Amino acid sequence: MAVSRRMMLAGSMGAGAAVLARSASAAVAQPGQVERWGVLELAFDGPRTGNPFDDVALSVRFSSDGRTIRVPGFYDGDGVYRVRFSPPETGRWQWTSESSAATMSGKSGSFECTAPSAGNHGPVRVAAGYHFAYADGTPFRQIGTTCYSWALQSEAKCAQTLATLKTAPFNKMRMLVFPNVESVATNPFVRTGPGPRDWDPARIDPAYFRRFEDRIRKLGDLGIEADVILFHPYDEKRGYSDMARADDERYLRYIIARFGAYRNLWWSMANEYDDVKSKTMADWDHLLQMLQAEDPHDRLRSIHQITTYYDNRKPWITHSSIQNGAAVLDDVRAQLHRSFGLKPVVFDEVCYEGNSKLRWGNLTGEQMVERFWWGLMGGTYVGHSETIDPERNADHSWLGQGGRLAGTSPPRLAFLRRIMEEGPAPGIEPIQTWWNYSIAGKEFEYYLHYFGSEQPTQWPVVLPGRKGQPMNAYRLDIIDTWNMTISPVDGLFRMQRHGDYDFHDPARPTVTLPGKPWLAVRLVKV
């Protein structure tokens, strides 16, 4: 078959899009440069016959400064194969292709990786054990949401969701590859007949994934991480999550090659993995290990449970993704999840703000926000969603399809995000949870105490501290987390020793509080 050289396209990650330049001398057209953490895309014409997903291997080795990264390619239909690479370092990169198709093998070229443009902080990584930061060191303060099948809705609905997100506080979106509610795009695989199970797992439909990745990119343009969920148990009708091992592997390899270069991509292996009846723990371990081994971009990896916590100490997991509505009603409960996994914890599902008749979908806005605050106090992160739906079944709500937000929690989550961003980097640490102070922050510099639904009229300003540790003086703010006010208290708290374990200011041992729910106090060292 004929092999032509195609113009290579850089990914459109907003300001991260590469400047394209056709090289006059090379046999293969290539962009002259791409920015660090942007997407370099090479496209080849290749075999159209047989099954391109099984019969054709393609990869490209990218090398710079003694480092080589092998990046797998994928078939994009119409005889076009692509390789996407997000260079982790600036400088000159050389590349060479390898393929089972002779016409795509042995091609080579080079490009310049330039400094990232403004707003490009790189991919999010684990930071300081229990937190997240972009590759350039900027803290990533996770305020997540979930719209399971938003990316599979109509163009108009997708646009509406994106418009909503543009003014919302969320910086991570959990989203399914396979539909779970009524959707426009429902066929990731080529259909073979009229029945729901009439599809061929060996024939991926590139159009489905092209459409999906457009949504990933658009989230990236808004500065939102795409937490892409590869399997889920809500689709017994079509059975996309019930494929055989080899089919799962083909799908996983495709997803890795196709989506992995987008710097805002996170992998979630499954939603409620333990409710997928066709897979065992060994299957999940295998798929996660494969993901770790074969993703050259080493994106964040997690798996979400309904009942049985996955063992998040397993080395292929980067952070704990937890479903638990009760664990984030108490800072110590939340913090314990750090002690178990020894990794960052995101409570990705804690029930939802909404009017569902189902108890997991009828939190008040206050209850939704409360969960974020307790999670914060435990040194963890929390996810929102909304189940406000005229049919009260959650399918057509923000949780199911995206669209508009109708709840009262998002402005308060924006306020919380501001509090987080004003706080210590990379995040808030729980402090001496054993001793029931219920404070968090950074010792001897910054403290938060959250009162939840209590309506306190005063609080004893006692901080843990022992002989020889810095006592310091602090200013104190009273934060109304619901009404979104920050009220500074006049003067300072000048700490002195108070018993063997504590500091306080003997001249003002307590602070007066307004006796309302959803208060917090913040102490900042002066």
**Which residues of this protein are in contact with a copy of itself, per CB under 8 A?**
308-309, 311, 313, 324-327, 329-330, 332-333, 336-337, 339-340, 342, 357, 359, 433-436, 500-501
**409-422 vs 365-377: helix crossing angle, rounded to 10:** 20
Where do the H-state alpha helices sit in 378-462? 398-401, 409-422
Which is nearer to a copy of itself, 316 or 340 (by Cβ)? 340
Q: To the nearest whole angstrom, how small is the minimum distance from the Cβ of residue 339 to a copy of itself?
A: 5
The answer to whether the CB of 124 falls within 8 A of the CB of 225 is yes
Which is nearer to a copy of itself, 309 or 459 (by Cβ)? 309
- DSSP-assigned letter for residue 135: T
The answer to whether the CB of 246 falls within 8 A of the CB of 208 is no
Q: To the nearest whole angstrom, how small is the minimum distance from the Cβ of residue 236 to a copy of itself?
A: 22
The answer to whether the CB of 304 falls within 8 A of the CB of 229 is yes
Which is nearer to a copy of itself, 333 or 396 (by Cβ)? 333
Tokens of 164: 């909503």
Q: To the nearest whole angstrom, how small is the minimum distance from the Cβ of residue 500 to a copy of itself?
A: 7
Q: To the nearest whole angstrom, how small is the minimum distance from the Cβ of residue 516 to a copy of itself?
A: 22
Phi, psi of 71 (to 5 degrees): -120, 125
Q: How far apart are CA 204 and CA 183, in angstroms?
A: 18
Q: How far apart are CA 489 and CA 331, in angstroms?
A: 25
Which is nearer to a copy of itself, 149 or 355 (by Cβ)? 355
Q: How far apart are CA 485 and CA 526, in angstroms?
A: 21
Q: How far apart are CA 503 and CA 55, in angstroms?
A: 69
Which is nearer to a copy of itself, 111 or 437 (by Cβ)? 437
Q: How far apart are CA 37 and CA 23, in angstroms?
A: 22
CA nearest neighbour of 352 among 384, 323, 328, 311: 384
Q: To the nearest whole angstrom, how small is the minimum distance from the Cβ of residue 433 to a copy of itself?
A: 6
Q: To the nearest whole angstrom, how small is the minimum distance from the Cβ of residue 453 to a copy of itself?
A: 12
Q: To the nearest whole angstrom, how small is the minimum distance from the Cβ of residue 421 to a copy of itself?
A: 29
CA distances from 101 to 2, 46, 47, 55, 98 (A): 11, 7, 7, 9, 8
Which is nearer to a copy of itself, 339 or 458 (by Cβ)? 339
CA distances from 13 to 116, 180, 205, 498 (A): 11, 27, 23, 54
CA 524 to chain centre: 30
The answer to whether the CB of 129 falls within 8 A of the CB of 342 is yes
Tokens of 40: 């370099």
The answer to whether the CB of 377 falls within 8 A of the CB of 331 is yes
Question: Residue for token digits 């989506």?
Answer: 259
Which is nearer to a copy of itself, 41 or 331 (by Cβ)? 331
Q: To the nearest whole angstrom, how small is the minimum distance from the Cβ of residue 356 to a copy of itself?
A: 11
Which is nearer to a copy of itself, 57 or 342 (by Cβ)? 342
CA distances from 175 to 80, 216, 361 (A): 27, 10, 18
Tokens of 118: 């403004």
Q: To the nearest whole angstrom, how small is the minimum distance from the Cβ of residue 380 to a copy of itself?
A: 13
Q: What is the biggest distance separating any 2 CA atoms in the chain, rounded to whole angstroms?
A: 87
CA distances from 75 to 28, 88, 203 (A): 18, 24, 11
Which is nearer to a copy of itself, 11 or 341 (by Cβ)? 341
Q: How far apart are CA 491 and CA 56, in angstroms?
A: 71
Q: How far apart are CA 427 and CA 397, in angstroms?
A: 31
Which is nearer to a copy of itself, 87 or 361 (by Cβ)? 361
For residue 522, the surrounding DSSP H or E stretch is strand 519-525
Tokens of 91: 């400088």
Q: To the nearest whole angstrom, how small is the minimum distance from the Cβ of residue 311 to a copy of itself?
A: 5
Which is nearer to a copy of itself, 49 or 436 (by Cβ)? 436
Which is nearer to a copy of itself, 357 or 404 (by Cβ)? 357
Which is nearer to a copy of itself, 249 or 443 (by Cβ)? 443
Rg (CA), the chain: 25
Q: To the nearest whole angstrom, how small is the minimum distance from the Cβ of residue 317 to a copy of itself?
A: 12
- DSSP-assigned letter for residue 379: T
